[in-house]
Amino acid sequence: MENSQYSVLLVDDEPAVLKSLQLVLERAGFDVLAVNDGRVAIEAMQSGRFDLVLTDLVMPDREGVETIIELRRTHPNLPIIAMSGGGMGSADLYLSVAAQVGANATLLKPFSEAQLLSAVRQVLGEPM
């Protein structure tokens, strides 16, 4: 399947990170909607169809773990990738909690373009 047939909802509160990840995914052929918090992500899910959610965990308005829990409740089969560089606690702890509440894969920031695209293809069931 062509990447352009996949729609990705990208969630991160850091504008530079959001733009950078959006560009990487778009260059790889994905259709990307980039939003800056979990609340907006939930609203976007209600009005659109996405094949994958890629979300940061530490965000000021609605954290990624809360977002994952809500998405799992409403979209139980939706592939979700959680990413974190930490915050008040360890990034590993945040990522572990994200996996426990339903993230299909996790990425520790900073990560490479290759690591990102590999994780995306893996959760979408695409060949590496």
Task: Report the pLDDT value the prediction gives residue 3, as an integer from 0 to 100.
Answer: 65
Task: Report the pLDDT value the prediction gives residue 1, as an integer from 0 to 100.
Answer: 47
Is residue 49 in some structural domain? yes
18: helix, strand or coil: helix
- How many structural domains compose the chain? 1
Task: Report the pLDDT value the prediction gives residue 97, as an integer from 0 to 100.
Answer: 95
Is residue 126 in some structural domain? no
Is residue 96 in some structural domain? no
Is residue 97 in some structural domain? no
Chain segment 44-88, per-residue pLDDT in tens: 999 889 999 999 999 888 889 999 999 999 999 999 999 998 777
Furthest CA-CA distance within the chain: 40
Using pLDDT thresholds of 50, 70 and 90, give the confidence band for residue 126.
confident
In whole angstroms, what is the distance from residue 98 CA to residue 3 CA? Answer: 25
Domain hosting residue 31, numbered range: 1-9+24-56+64-87+104-112
Is residue 35 in some structural domain? yes
Q: CATH code at 71? A: 3.40.50.2300
Cα angle value 43/79/23 (rounded, 5°): 75
Sheet holding 7-11, edge to edge: 31-35, 7-11, 52-56, 80-84, 105-108
